[in-house]
Each structure stands twice: as C-alpha cells, then as structure tokens.
Amino acid sequence: MLRAEPVSQNSPATTRLTYEDYLKTPDDERYELLDGALIVPPAPNTAHQSVQAELGWRMARFIREGGLGHLFFAPTDVVLSRTDVVQPDLLFISSQRAHIIAPANIQGAPDLIVEIRSESTAERDESFKRQLYANFGVKEYWLVDPEAATISILLLGEYGYDEAATYTLGQTLTSPMLDGLLINLDDLFLVRDSTGPTS
C-alpha cells in the first residue's frame, strides 16, 4: 500500500503517480492526487464541518425539490485525469450530465464545486485548484471562508475564472447555475454560534 506524508501543493512530486496508484492508498486517510502528487488534506475543523453541513443541506433540498441533479459531499472521488483526483467539499452534477456518475467515483468535471477554505488549504484552493478546475471545465466554483464569513462565486470564462460576486453577513447568496437558490449568509455562518458553549 502507498503511504503518503502531507505534501505542500508547491512541492514537486518525485514520482508522478496515477489513479491506479491512488487506488492503492489505505482507507484510513483522505487523499487527493494533484498533478501526480499524493496530498493528505488535514482533518476539517468544527467551523468547516458546520458550514459544510448547513450549506450542503440547503443546496441539497433546493436541488432535490427542483429535480436539478445530484449533490455529493466529501469524500467523493472526482477523477479529472489519470493524475488528478480531487475530493471537493461539495459538488453538483446536473441531471443532463448524470452519465459521469459511476458507482465508485465521478468521472469528469462537476458542473459546480464548493471548497471550504482553512488556513492549511487556502493557497491550494485559491490558486492550484482554481486553475485545475478551470482547465477541466468546472463552470462554477465557490470559495467559502468560514473565518471571514464570505462566499465568492467564480464563473468560468474564456481565460479562466471571473469573480461574479462575493457575499458576506447580511447578504443573500444567489447562484447563476442554480437559478432561484437563495441562501442567507447569516443563517449559514451564525448557526454555529447558537450551538457553541455558553458562559
């Protein structure tokens, strides 16, 4: 079995691994394969988990009620190429592209990807993955920052992603792809405050 150590997204892989190598990794860790380098993302913190659950619940309900397609949570393997396998925090695949959903993984680019940043993943999410997702044709990319309580929506253009909007507390998010979706960021980011310890 392959065993990986945490690797910086800027560190070149001495051996370029493939999806076949990736399948040999142990099941007790979460891995991604980025340009042939095996990455071990850190375990998400509680703020990350809270936002992922709340955002995913709202998106899933809207997608299901509209019969729009399928929403998946990490860890779900998205095989973009033989040397690029990612596990986005949330990913949406439209009904029209449901053929890329296989029993073991997603075989191709989702329509929409959500990454929830942390201090250890911010650079990778905002640079390497931004370029990777653009290269493979992910049409809409959300960057969620629990610390700043913001969500940036990026849309794929001719030369990569353009920032369509950045939402923060007191505002309501809308999505060009999920027309009609409305998410109040107060509900999303402040929900964890009501469940925290009290003095």
pLDDT tens digits along 51-72:
999 999 999 999 999 999 999 9
What is the C-alpha separation between 29 and 105, in angstroms, rounded? 17
Asked if residues 63 and 92 have their Cβ atoms less than 8 Å apart, the reply is: yes
Tokens of 92: 């949406």
Contacts of residue 138, defined as CB under 8 A and 6 or more positions apart, other chains included, come to: 109, 110, 111, 112, 113, 156
pLDDT the model gives residue 65:
97
Mean pLDDT of the chain: 88
pTM here is: 0.86
Exposed, middle or buried, 84 (CB in 10 Å: 0-12/13-18/19+)? buried
- Residues with pLDDT less than 50, the chain: 1-13, 195-199
